[in-house]
């Protein structure tokens, strides 16, 4: 029997303690057991099973077609592949239309996947839902700024908080979501100065993506980090590897070797 002590999975209390210590929080997405195991072993603090799987795994143009069943299937796989990071599952488009519906769907996610928290996109409209989920024992990460589930309503993907009206709305949303009980807040494509201001304004950690370097933590889509894409990553993502090129080269070598090492394979002769 192994004498190694199993790794203890991080909790929301650990994440809060990191924020109090001023320790940066590293978060990445993962969508399957193998990738979850790799990023977990590399030391990430939080893994997001993002509805971005709609874009990077399922081939959709947006996250809108992703279903609750999709999220549950992938989140359960990530749970099986990881042992240390705190796991957060996105609630997909249409699954949190009102607090009662959100609670029912979030309970299903928690029961069927084993993740520790869910993430909700939206500002003031999500406050009653966050309150309902927290009141029933579900840990919640909130998400404001660029919210991809609202891409058509917003009119595209762009930086938020550039004007004072937008900035004040984001400040109000951040305060309200913290007061509602969210234990962390994703700031996506918020101007860096405003993201820094909101970070210093809150006691819960902010997790930035495309929002500068002054948030309490950062999150990236794993495919953007490792260069596992067939199209360029977002401008704010700096790939640390070029996995797509490695895969194409390896597969190309395999194809060439397979074809070169085998002569023509004749069809069986037909009986005359």
Give the model confidence (pLDDT) of 177-224 as tens digits: 999 999 999 999 999 999 999 999 999 999 999 999 999 999 999 999
Strands annotated E in 42-200:
46-49, 86-90, 117-121, 139-145, 184-188
Domains (ranges, CATH) in the chain? 12-260 (3.20.20.60)
Catalytic residue among 116, 173, 178, 188: 188
For residue 75, the SS3 value is helix
Q: What is the C-alpha radius of gyration for the chain, rounded to an integer number of angstroms?
A: 21
Question: What pLDDT was estimated at residue 1?
Answer: 41
The pLDDT assigned to 190 comes to 98
Annotated binding site: 51-52, 90, 119, 121
Q: Residue 231 has which token pair?
A: 């199209």
Encoding tokens for residue 245? Answer: 């090129």
> Is 23 known to be catalytic?
no
Strands 217-220 and 25-29: parallel
Label residues 68-92 b or e (16+ Cβ within 10 Å = b): bebbbbbbbbbbebbebbbbbbbbb
Which pLDDT value is given to residue 193?
A: 97
First to last CA, the chain: 65
Q: By three-state DSSP, how is residue 218 classified? A: strand
pLDDT digits (tens, 9 = 90+) for 51-61: 999 999 999 99
Segment among 46-50, 106-110, 254-258 with least mean pLDDT: 254-258
Alpha-carbon distance of 186 to 90, in angstroms, equals: 12
Q: 10 — phi, psi (to 5°)?
A: -65, 150
Beta bridge partners of 185: 142, 206
Average pLDDT over every residue of 1-16? 78
Query: Tell me: the pLDDT tens digits for 139-177?
Result: 999 999 999 999 998 888 899 999 999 999 999 999 999
Q: Residues annotated as binding site for Mg(2+)?
A: 51, 90, 121
Tens digits of residue pLDDT in 225-258? 999 999 889 889 999 999 999 999 999 999 999 9
Task: Give kind and range of the element (H or E) at residue 207.
Answer: strand 206-209
Predicted local distance difference test score (pLDDT) of residue 2: 47
Binding-site residues for 3-methyl-2-oxobutanoate, in ranges, read 51-52, 90, 119
Cα–Cα distance for residue pair 262/100, rounded to 1 Å: 62
Residue 263's pLDDT band (boundaries 50, 70, 90)?
A: confident
**Predicted TM-score of the model (pTM):** 0.93
Confidence label for 130 from pLDDT (cuts 50, 70 and 90): very high
């Amino acid at each position: 029997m192994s004498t190694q002590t199993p790794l203890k999975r991080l909790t929301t209390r650990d994440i809060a303690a990191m924020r109090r210590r001023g320790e940066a929080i590293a978060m990445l997405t993962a969508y399957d057991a193998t990738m979850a195991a790799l990023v977990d072993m590399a030391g990430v603090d939080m893994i997001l099973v993002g509805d971005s799987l709609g874009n990077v795994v399922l081939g959709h143009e947006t996250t809108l077609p992703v279903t609750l069943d999709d999220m549950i299937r992938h989140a359960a796989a990530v749970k099986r592949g990881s042992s240390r990071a705190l796991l957060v599952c996105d609630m997909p488009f249409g699954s949190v239309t009102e607090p009662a519906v959100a609670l029912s769907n979030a309970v299903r996610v928690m029961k069927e996947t084993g993740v520790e928290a869910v993430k909700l996109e939206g500002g003031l409209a999500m406050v009653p839902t966050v309150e309902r989920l927290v009141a029933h024992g579900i840990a919640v990460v909130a998400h404001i700024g660029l919210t991809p589930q609202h891409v058509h309503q917003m009119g595209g993907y762009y930086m938020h908080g550039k004007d004072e009206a937008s900035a004040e709305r984001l400040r109000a949303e951040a305060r309200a979501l913290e007061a509602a009980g969210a234990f962390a807040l994703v700031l996506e494509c918020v101007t860096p100065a405003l993201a820094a201001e909101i970070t210093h304004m809150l006691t819960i950690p902010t997790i930035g993506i495309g929002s500068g370097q002054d948030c309490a933590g950062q999150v990236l889509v794993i495919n953007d980090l490792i260069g596992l894409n067939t199209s360029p990553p977002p401008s704010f993502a700096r790939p640390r590897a070029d996995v797509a090129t490695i895969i194409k080269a390896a597969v190309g070598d395999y194809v060439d070797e397979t074809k070169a090492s085998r002569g023509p394979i004749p069809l069986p002769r037909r009986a005359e």
